Amino acid sequence: GAGVSQSPSNKVTEKGKDVELRCDPISGHTALYWYRQSLGQGLEFLIYFQGNSAPDKSGLPSDRFSAERTGGSVSTLTIQRTQQEDSAVYLCASSQPTGGVSPLHFGNGTRLTVT
């Protein structure tokens, strides 16, 4: 498909386990974002990748969170030793900066539940 794809769509894990969330951005989009959204709330910025530049990791809530983007395309968000407060929907978005304002194209998210 032509949109942003995230997998899995739902993930239930036990407290203390590690999880990996995947994002396939729109082909050709150089910018990729991860956000976290609690039920009915706004989006909390986590991390931003732009081309080959160093990622902006300023939104990661703790050192248990990390993300990488391989080959400028697919991205993986890893949460180690998950805690119940990590339960949320994790949204990925991509965009193609054109020098002006670039809209974000979002995936449908991964709903993470930590039991």
Q: Point out which residues bind other proteins (CB under 8 A).
A: 4, 31, 33, 35, 40-45, 48, 50, 56, 91, 93, 95, 97, 100-104, 106-109
Comparing CB distances to other proteins, the nearer of 23 and 114 is 23
Q: Least distance to other proteins from the beta carbon of 67, Å?
A: 15
Taking the CA atoms of 15, 24, 31 and 44 in sequence, report the sign of the dihedral they define.
negative
Q: Least distance to other proteins from the beta carbon of 60, Å?
A: 13
Comparing CB distances to other proteins, the nearer of 49 and 86 is 49
Buried b (16+ CB within 10 A) or exposed e, 74-111: ebebebeebeeebbbbbbbbbbeeeeeeeebbbbebbb
User: In terms of residues, how long is the chain?
Assistant: 115
Comparing CB distances to other proteins, the nearer of 50 and 87 is 50
Which among 90, 51, 44, 49 has a CA at the least distance from the CA of 68? 49
Q: Least distance to other proteins from the beta carbon of 35, Å?
A: 7
Comparing CB distances to other proteins, the nearer of 4 and 21 is 4
Q: Least distance to other proteins from the beta carbon of 66, Å?
A: 18
Contact 19, 84 (CB under 8 A): no
